Structure 1
Amino acid sequence: MRGAGCTINDMLDRDVDARVARTRARPLAAGDLEVWPDATIFLGAQLSVGLAVLLNLNVDAIFFGALSLPLVATYPLAKRYNPIPQLHLGLAFNWGALLGYYAAAGTLEPAVALPLYAGCISWTLVYDTLYAHQDKRDDEKLGLRSSALALGDALTKPACAVWSVLALAGVGLAGHNADLPHAWPFHAGLAAFGAHLAWQVKTADLDDPSNLAARFKSNAYVAPVVLAGIAAANLTVPPPPQGVFACCL
């Protein structure tokens, strides 16, 4: 579904992308592919795979997953009316924090899933705001909106620092409410996450596209570290006592 969102974005923005230095070589913008049949058939294949996965879940989870479709479909238009379209992206891109929990547990535990969702949205605001600075001059000329333009160079790093704290707090609170507070692998992953966020914001050069692209891509490397910490922490948490042992305790 993330890939489908990218395809929809490229279909709707092909004329805009052709006028932005970073995106003018994209296949639709460059004219190498056409909306029909190329992009339309490809999008149909992506949505079909997503539907095949979704249909393996229970009925409630299928309905819950379908709720994300309006967010996915409307995100490409957000930069035309939303001063911070990165927030729209965060809401859509991190829906898996809710759907994944619901599909695995059969219910949605707000004390765990909502802080995780909010923390991941804050994380998206950090990396995609830095990413948006690559296009700020072209976006301004085209009348498009982004958090990079809304904040400007002076406020971007302070805002990203606040969002980084919120991202760390959200993931940390989710782990705490999921009974992982004493599992050291979780804290190790959280520490690596915090260090990465601090490095990313501190070393970002808002006028250097290559620097910003590298900071953006680096998030793909820290995400598995956080995931590994959560998974390992679950293995270290002792199971609840049962039977006669429970009575004794």
Structure 2
Amino acid sequence: MKPDLMSPQLRSRLMDYARLMRIDRPIGSLLLLWPTWWALWLAADGRFPSLGNLAVFTLGVFFMRAAGCVINDFADRKVDRHVERTRDRPLTTGRIQPRYAIALFIGLITVSFLLVVFFTNTLTLYLSFGGAVLAFIYPFMKRYTHLPQLFLGAAFSWAIPMAWAAEAGELSRLTWLLFTANVLWTVAYDTFYAMVDRDDDLKVGIKSTAILFGEADLAIIGMLQGLVVMVLLLVGMQAELGFFWYLGVATMAGLFGWQQMLARDRSRKGCFEAFLNNNWAGFVVFAGLLLDKLLRG
């Protein structure tokens, strides 16, 4: 048996940092990854995206999502103790000091920025500043507006114009259609997520679309999901995509219906399962796009 070279204290510390970056919960990275890949494949215009861009933006997704989680927990470190789902997070319990979290956030942003500087183009570099600003300000918006999910949508969607610029060298109307679809989708699924914490958020004064929408929450989420499907159909028509794209979008619509069923009683468990199901919604659209490209190629 090999000796354990890592002390229990070091292992515990590393696990705390992994939890801070949500390495143990990849759902956020996947929800950010699928639309980034949609953009890369659509921007490639009939061919496959470059392996360099695929590697840069896949890594960038994981680094930027980790950075977003770190700054989110920094912003919420004093209120997370009052929320059932978050009261044991490392910053809230004091297992990680705030200054180390800020240092980690800066490090993750710097690595992401260097990927853009060394491996993409000038337009993508300019766009990256907007992405960094959105990643920083989103966690603080829940104190000032009931629409923090809209800011999250913009932050999660900013990889779309960046990936498009890196692959195509320019932006187009199609870029912003895809951006719009993803903002709407993000607001919808993050409202499910906010519904999990709604009772706790009301107690501590945190704002969200789940609170804003009130009893109309499922109806408004349904309308947002319907708009997502409509905009993605427009994307398919403008990009002259084929059967498998539309099949992917139709499957997403079916999954949206299933999410409404999961959350129908507004229980924490049901709302969280509805949120998690969006990983499959993003995947089926990408699968449809990939199949369309493969069959046409």
Partner Cα separation in structure 1 for residue 183 and residue 70 of structure 2: 21
Alignment deviations for residues 119-167 of structure 1 (CA, whole Å, 9 cap, x no partner): 1111111111111111111111111111111111x20111011100111
Alignment deviations for residues 58-94 of structure 1 (CA, whole Å, 9 cap, x no partner): 1111001212222111101111111121111101111
Aligned to 2:198: 136
Residue of 218, 224, 244 corresponding to 2:283: 224
Q: CA RMSD in A?
A: 1.5
1:190 alignment partner AA: V
Partner Cα separation in structure 1 for residue 272 and residue 94 of structure 2: 24
Aligned to 2:106: 44
Tell me which moved more, 124-133 or 228-237: 228-237
Aligned to 1:245: none
Aligned to 2:39: none
Contact 2:153 2:186 in 1 (8 A): yes
2:232 alignment partner AA: V
Gaps of 5+ in 2: 1-63
Deviation at 1:42, TM superposition (A): 2.4
| 1:202 has 2:265 as partner | no
| 1:21 has 2:80 as partner | no
Aligned to 1:171: 232
Contact 1:95 1:117 in 2 (8 A): yes
Partner Cα separation in structure 2 for residue 80 and residue 194 of structure 1: 33
Alignment deviations for residues 216-248 of structure 1 (CA, whole Å, 9 cap, x no partner): 11112231221121122123336xxxxxxxxxx
Partner Cα separation in structure 1 for residue 289 and residue 231 of structure 2: 14
Deviation at 1:185, TM superposition (A): 1.3
Gaps of 5+ in 1: 239-249
Contact 1:119 1:170 in 2 (8 A): yes
Say which SS state the counterpart of residue 232 (structure 1) adopts.
Answer: helix
Partner Cα separation in structure 1 for residue 67 and residue 201 of structure 2: 23
Count of equivalent residues: 233
Contact 2:131 2:159 in 1 (8 A): no
Residue of 211, 217, 220 corresponding to 1:149: 211
Alignment deviations for residues 159-214 of structure 1 (CA, whole Å, 9 cap, x no partner): 0111001111122211221121xx11111111111111111123314541122111
Partner Cα separation in structure 1 for residue 104 and residue 144 of structure 2: 28
Aligned to 1:107: 170
Aligned to 1:193: 252
Going from structure 1 to structure 2, the CA distance change for 1:206 and 1:73 (only over 3 Å counts) comes to: farther
Contact 1:164 1:198 in 2 (8 A): no
Say which SS state the counterpart of residue 277 (structure 2) adopts.
Answer: helix
TM-score relative to the length of structure 2:
0.75
Partner Cα separation in structure 1 for residue 115 and residue 281 of structure 2: 26
Aligned to 1:247: none
Partner Cα separation in structure 1 for residue 219 and residue 278 of structure 2: 19
Tell me which moved more, 171-180 or 41-50: 41-50
Say which SS state the counterpart of residue 23 (structure 1) adopts.
Answer: coil
Contact 1:5 1:73 in 2 (8 A): yes
2:179 alignment partner AA: Y
Deviation at 1:95, TM superposition (A): 0.9
Deviation at 1:15, TM superposition (A): 0.4
2:121 alignment partner AA: N
Residue of 63, 67, 70 corresponding to 1:4: 67
Which 4+ runs in 1 deviate beyond 2 A?
A: 234-238
Greater C-alpha Rg: 1
TM-score relative to the length of structure 1:
0.88
Say which SS state the counterpart of residue 18 (structure 1) adopts.
Answer: helix
Aligned to 1:85: 148
Partner Cα separation in structure 1 for residue 236 and residue 166 of structure 2: 18
Show the 5 A alignment for 1:62-77: 62-77=125-140
